Chains A and B, each alone.
Chain A
């Protein structure tokens, strides 16, 4: 495959989408980050299954939980935005609708990440 690319194309590193492998690579980077974060998250959820509000607040407000949860939200919603974008690009063929849906996904994921972060800050640092 390498042999079929022009020297210029190889130097620029851009494919037909004109943005190189940035999207593909970020999908993998966030995926790698999410593996340990999700293992931690699942163990935490199991440990707090049936816990009352006070215990859950104590867990979420702990600096370690707070930090890892922020990373989980950031990596997870970034990964979600990238993944949903690919699905939309593959199956939605109308130019206008496709652009609208991709924007909706990106705005939605940013809003969700921000909302979750504000909730975590409120829990960790009080009202």
Chain B
């Protein structure tokens, strides 16, 4: 039970039309994120935007890498050394994770756009598949990449 005597799982809006909250009109309000319990659906939704922003930074890094490759062997070697450093590898791993998440969740969004998979249980199932697929594919890609270069 919460402090106000309501059950913790009771997510209904307390309705007391006689006493509207100060400075707020007595009408339904959007969920206040500060007190709204995070759920898989909401977390995955905002993660799509956050990973999209991160991938914007990844696009900048990709173009810098292309320019370095075009510039010549010295600039390219410098870029590869940066990418191979601890910080570079952490960033590349994060980019891989964000790219796969955004890709898989983007496909989920495209399926929704056709009007399919919008039932609550389907939404949760596809969400779990996206998270699982992102983790598995991120690790698989890094194992394949390390194997291709013949060692860490």
Contacts and interface: CB of A to CB of B under 8 A. Distances in A.
Contacts of A53: 69, 72-73, 76-77
Interface stretch (B9-17, B60-68, B121-129): B60-68
A84 B106 CA distance: 15
A87 to B, nearest CB: 6
B103 A38 contact: yes
Interface in A65-115: 73, 76-77, 80, 83-84, 87, 112, 115
B59 A80 contact: yes
B146 interface: yes
A45 interface: yes
B55 A47 contact: no
Nearest to A124: B70
Interface residues of B, number: 31
A50 interface: yes
B107 A80 contact: no
B113 to A, nearest CB: 6
B81 to A, nearest CB: 12
Contacts of A115: 63, 66-67
Interface of A: 28, 31-32, 34-35, 38, 42, 45-51, 53-54, 56-57, 60, 73, 76-77, 80, 83-84, 87, 112, 115-116, 118-120, 122-123
5 contacts: A38-B103, A73-B63, A87-B53, A119-B69, A122-B70
Interface of B: 49, 52-53, 55-56, 59-60, 62-63, 66-67, 69-70, 72-73, 76-77, 99, 103, 106-107, 109-110, 113, 141, 144-146, 148-150
